[in-house]
Amino acid sequence: MGPAIDMSRRLKLIVAYDGAPFAGWQSQPHRNTIQDYLERAFERVIGRPVRVHGAGRTDAGVHALAQCAHVDVNKALAPARWMEALNALLPPAIRVLRCRYVSTDFHARLSAKGKVYRYRIWCASVLPPFEYRRAWHIARPLNLKLLKTAAKQFVGTHDFAGFAANRGKAEESTIRTIYSVRVRQNGPCLTIEFDGDGFLYKMVRLMVGALVKCALHKMHIKEISARLGSPQTHSARFAARAEALFLVRVRY
C-alpha cells in the first residue's frame, strides 16, 4: 500500500463580525473567540478538527468588516455551499461574506501586505443607542485641525514601540510603515483611518488615544514625535476604547 495522499484544499475566507460579544480573534480556553467559533463550525461540517489561520488577532470588542482567514479542508464543496453551511452554524454576529479556493502558497497572515483600520468617534452630547459599542463617545469638542496635524506625525516608517503594549516575542521588530492617516468628519461622527504595512498590539488604539489627547489640548504634538523618535520614553499612555475600532480590510 502506498503512502496516504493528502487531498486537502485551501479555502480563503472573508469574515465580518461584531466583536462586542466575543473575546477577540485568537482561540482561548473559554472558547468564546472568533477563531473558536469558526473552527467548531468547520469541524461540524468536515467531521474532524481543523485550524483556521487569521490575518491578524483583533482584540476583545474589536470589529471586522473584512477579516481574512484560511483553512485547509478535505471536503469538496463549492464555495457557495461552504458559505451556506458555515453561516448556518455560526452565531449571527459572525458571518462568512466570501470564500474561494486558493493555492497552498497563500497564507492569511504571512502573505498579507498591509491592513486598514478605522476608528469611530461620536462627538456630541448624546450617543445614539445604535452607536453604542460602535463608537467612542466624547461629549467635549475636539480641535479637528489640531487632530489632523497630529495625525501626520504617524505617516512614514517609524519605531512604534512607544505606541504598542507589551506582547509577543522580545525580538519582534517594532518598525512599521504607516502609508496614510485619513481624518474625516460627517456631522457628529469622526473617523480616523490608518493604512499601514502592519500594526503592533494595541497600536491603533494607542495612536488614537494620543490624537484625542492632542485634540483636547491635554498633550502637545511634540510628544508624539518624541515618542516615535525615542520609543523607550516612559510616559503615561492612553489607549482608546476597543469597541470603536474596525478592521476594514487586509491587503495582499
Question: Which CATH number covers residue 168?
Answer: 3.30.70.660
Length of the chain: 252
Q: Tell me: do 124 and 84 sit in the same domain.
A: no
pLDDT at residue 8 in the model: 86
pLDDT at residue 104 in the model: 96
Domain assignment of residue 127, yes or no? yes
Domain assignment of residue 186, yes or no? yes
Report residue 182 as a C-alpha cell.
485619513
The helix (run of H) or strand (run of E) holding residue 17 is strand 9-17
- Quote the radius of gyration of the chain (alpha carbons, Å): 20
Domain-ending residue, one of 51, 74, 102 = 102
pLDDT at residue 239 in the model: 94
Q: Tell me: do 98 and 120 sit in the same domain.
A: no
| Dist. CA 173–CA 200, nearest whole Å | 9
pLDDT at residue 232 in the model: 63
Name residues whose C-beta falls within 8 Å of residue 143's C-beta, 6 or more positions apart in sequence: 214, 215, 216, 217
Q: Provide the number of structural domains found in the chain.
A: 2
Q: Which residues of the chain have pLDDT under 50?
A: 1-5, 233
Tell if the pTM clears 0.85, that is, is over it.
yes
Domain assignment of residue 88, yes or no? yes
The helix (run of H) or strand (run of E) holding residue 67 is strand 63-73
Residue 57 maps to which CATH number?
3.30.70.580
Q: What angle do CA 107, 113, 117 make, to 5 degrees?
A: 105
What is the span of the domain harbouring residue 147?
114-251
DSSP string, 94-159: EEEEEEEEE-TT--TTTT--EEEEEEEEE-SSS--GGGTTTSEE--SPP-HHHHHHHHGGG-EEEE
pLDDT at residue 4 in the model: 45
Q: Tell me: do 123 and 195 sit in the same domain.
A: yes
pLDDT at residue 230 in the model: 75
Active site (catalytic) residues:
59
Name residues whose C-beta falls within 8 Å of residue 5's C-beta, 6 or more positions apart in sequence: none
